[in-house]
């Protein structure tokens, strides 16, 4: 690996890191030389992922429920006891809820907003001290928020809270990028289109639904693991040191 893209000696936390896009990114960071902490609610899933990725490098499990303020604070306290600084924070944990407009439940709306927006804000708040210690003019600390093309386009698919939550996350990221740049912390957003994950498996496992879905994508296919990995490494490495406040669609042209 070229030194421009090496993460050797750096420490990363990936929330929602046991499956889907989070696991793709966690694996990429381990392979690039970082010490990676994967976080999810499921203790066993965290352990299994850490064991699997640990065969490739340095990976640790840390279970937490980020849907609550207390859960985020407990995570920050635990990691604060294990590390002196945090170079890379990837806020990937998220959820969705689908239902017809007339019967869309407020509890669904609140759940999506809580995890996709509020908990991300809380994570950034709680990890700011460790991120500040990591950042320097030559090599800023990185916050990489996982947004969505749903926050850019108007395809709602009856997941009425999901797109607005991601649009809110995009705007929050811009605001924080402006504020934190003077503290040597870069904030960028990856806005994925379709990638294999638990959230998209109902489409991926249905041949007809998959054909209809890919027909809407100019490249006529879903994203691949290596494509997500490469962009995530770029934002975390020298390649992304001069980038902040960007919302980057990774969607095969869907947002066009």
Sheet of strand 185-192, all strands in order from the earlier edge strand to the far edge: 58-63, 35-40, 11-15, 88-91, 141-146, 185-192, 247-250
Rounded CA gap, 114 and 102, in Å?
22
Is residue 162 part of the annotated active site? The answer reads yes
**Catalytically annotated residue among 29, 37, 160, 162:** 162
Q: What b-and-e string marks burial along 42-60, b requiring 16 or more CB atoms within 10 Å of the CB?
A: eeebbeebbebbeeebebb
Rounded CA gap, 249 and 251, in Å?
6
Give the position of tokens 């499921």.
42
Length of the chain: 256
Rounded CA gap, 225 and 217, in Å?
17
Kindly list the catalytic residues.
Answer: 162
């Amino acid at each position: 690996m070229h030194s421009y893209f090496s993460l050797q000696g750096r420490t990363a936390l990936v929330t929602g890191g046991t499956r889907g896009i989070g696991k793709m990114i966690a694996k990429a960071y381990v392979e690039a030389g970082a010490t990676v902490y994967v976080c999810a609610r499921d203790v066993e899933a965290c352990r299994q992922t850490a064991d699997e990725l640990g065969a490739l490098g340095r990976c640790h499990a840390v279970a937490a429920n980020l849907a609550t303020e207390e859960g985020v604070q407990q995570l920050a306290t635990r990691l604060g006891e294990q590390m002196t600084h945090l170079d890379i924070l990837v806020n990937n944990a998220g959820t969705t809820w689908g239902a017809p407009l007339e019967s869309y439940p407020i509890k669904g709306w609140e759940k999506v907003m809580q995890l996709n927006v509020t908990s991300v804000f809380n994570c950034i708040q709680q990890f700011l001290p460790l991120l500040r210690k990591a950042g320097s003019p030559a090599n800023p600390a990185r916050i990489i928020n996982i947004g969505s093309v749903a926050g850019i386009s108007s395809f709602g698919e009856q997941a009425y809270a999901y797109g607005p939550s991601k649009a809110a996350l995009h705007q929050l990221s811009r605001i924080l990028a402006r504020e934190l740049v003077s503290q040597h912390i870069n904030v960028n957003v990856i806005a994925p289109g379709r990638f294999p994950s638990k959230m998209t498996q109902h489409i991926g496992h249905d041949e007809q639904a998959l054909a209809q879905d890919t027909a809407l994508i100019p490249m006529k296919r879903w994203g691949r693991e290596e494509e997500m990995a490469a962009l995530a490494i770029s934002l975390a490495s020298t390649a992304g040191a001069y980038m902040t406040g960007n919302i980057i669609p990774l969607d095969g042209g869907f947002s066009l």
